[in-house]
Chains A and B, each alone.
Chain A
């Protein structure tokens, strides 16, 4: 158990809909990262937040957005969903801004868009 929690575990929705994925980092960790894992693209970095502020952006679509709240939990919002958005979404956390490279991953949310 990494100490990172993600909800829900599974999410099934229809194209065009909007969903919110939630992540609680390990106690004391200030950085939260979101990754997407699809069959054809592998594990891809989406976005990082550090203590409430956006730190780095990867291949995140404009239809996707994220935020980190004062209690350090984070939410990833996916809107106008398409079939290709079906994937595993992982959240990770680290103590600092991530320089050491040790990120602790949650169990993921499996999103299925029908």
Chain B
């Protein structure tokens, strides 16, 4: 699986959009980008994933650059409950590669 680089920490004002970047310059053509988050020692929570097109669900939007070397997770209106560690994971969803490989992630602090 391709390696990812994320900032160690970020702050965001409550009510504003939180934009979390992820660099995955060595991503290959069949690898997907997944985002999970972990709120203070709770189990990680799946947020969203995508291959090349931008994706949106009820939690967030995922913007993947055209060259697929980076992506941004957008929380449109951050709340205090969005304070968590956000993990960007790049993986090929094929045989023998079903586990998730977590890096250090980005600690997002939503400020009142």
A residues contacting B by CB (< 8 A) are 2, 4, 31, 33, 35, 42-45, 48, 55-56, 58, 88, 90, 92, 94, 97-108, 110
Contact = CB atoms under 8 A, between A and B. Distances in A.
Contacts, number: 67
Interface of B: 32, 34, 38, 41-46, 49, 87, 89, 91, 93-96, 98-104
Contacts of A90: 43-44
A97 B42 CA distance: 23
B1 to A, nearest CB: 11
Contacts of B32: 101
Given A45-B101, A58-B99, A103 B46 contact: yes
A48 to B, nearest CB: 6
B2 to A, nearest CB: 14
